[in-house]
Amino acid sequence: MIDTNIIKLLKNSRRVAVLTGAGISAESGVPTFRGADGLWKNYRPEELASPIAFRNNPDMVWEWYSWRKNLIKNCAPNPGHYALAKMEKLFEKFTLITQNVDGIHRQAGSDNILELHGNINRNFCCECRKEYPDNDLVLGSKVNRCSCGGLIRPAVVWFGENLPEEVLEKAFSAVVDCDLFISIGTSSVVYPAALMPLKAKEEGAALIEINMEPTPLTPESDFFLKGACGVILPNLMEDVHNA
Ligand code: BJW
């Protein structure tokens, strides 16, 4: 049973912005980045998801991405993704901002999605920027090379790289315009995404957080729903529907 004040808040909101992180895909079988299960061969995300890591050891970084690409291809949306796709239809304006690169929100039927950190299913050459679909590449322990000789990398945003400008602009415009911001399944430690709920609050929006554990955002949230988003989000939708 969800707090009736949260249901009232959802009922009375018109413009909603949602930020998702790895936690929403955890119940689909996609590993999160941080925490006990978030490590890959004892490397932290900062040691793998960076241009320096790729420059120093492209084979190892490509092997990590190959492992994740193969894993994600076999993952399907969970009830949390589907609940968000339904939620989109309830409001005058609904923007789904995601840090995830797995493309699962689209599979679930969400439409207005802003992918802050790119998409793991796309790749490009570091030298000539030619794009390559996964099907043209070998997923494994050796990095692929473009016909120009450059290294081919996944089209995701690494630490120290700028987020896609147009996507970031659209995201912040939804953030400052919303009357309700919902942060879901993110550790709230990676910027600039972590600024978004704080900015929304500063501009007067109400703030709901859904997570298995408290995060640095929790003290700032008006409501903290502790638990799995694959359970909480469908319950939320059901209660809103019945209210
Ligand atoms: C559940 C659950 C369930 C589990 N139900 N919940 C300002 C201050 C300080 C630093 C910076 C700053 N501005 C920029 C920086 C530097 C840097 C940064 O943020 N560093 C911090 C680590 C300190 N940011 C950048 O470099 C960004 N670029 C940038 O800002 O450019 C301008 C600039 C450049 C240089 C200097 C200054 C400015 C780029 C960030 C790119 C992040 N890239 C990655 C990899 C993407 C590709 C890939 O997938 O491989 O993005 S890193 C990784 O972290 C990935 C994620 O999207 C991101 C966030 O992680 P997320 O989603 O929160 O996952 P987890 O694992 O951390 O948390 C999961 C949560 O779910 C947990 O809380 C669980 O409890 C919960 N959970 N199951 C509900 N069932």
Q: For a substitution probing ligand 1, which of 65, 119, 190, 235 has the most ligand atoms within 8 Å of its CB?
A: 190
117 a catalytic residue: yes
pLDDT digits (tens, 9 = 90+) for 157-210: 999 999 999 999 999 999 999 999 999 999 999 999 999 999 999 999 999 999
pLDDT digits (tens, 9 = 90+) for 151-168: 999 999 999 999 999 999
> Which spans in 160-203 are helix H?
165-177, 195-202
Q: What SS3 state is found at 122?
A: strand
**Interval between CA 60 and ligand 1 midpoint (Å):** 21
Q: What SS3 state is found at 167?
A: helix
In angstroms and rounded to an integer, the radius of gyration of the C-alpha atoms of the chain is: 18
The amino acid present at 24, given as its one-letter code, is I
31, with CB counted inside 10 A (0-12, 13-18, 19+), is middle
pLDDT digits (tens, 9 = 90+) for 226-239: 999 999 999 999 99
Q: Quick check: 90 and 83 in contact, CB under 8 A? A: no
Give the burial string for 105-133 (b: 16+ CB within 10 Å, else e).
Answer: bbebebeebbbbbbebbebbbeeeeeebe
Separation between Cα atoms, residue 94 and residue 56, nearest integer Å: 41
Separation between Cα atoms, residue 172 and residue 121, nearest integer Å: 25
Compute how many other C-beta atoms are within 10 angstroms of the C-beta atom of residue 16. 24
Separation between Cα atoms, residue 42 and residue 33, nearest integer Å: 12
Nearest by Cα to 185 from 4, 15, 30: 30
**Interval between CA 45 and ligand 1 midpoint (Å):** 9
What pTM value is reported for the model? 0.97
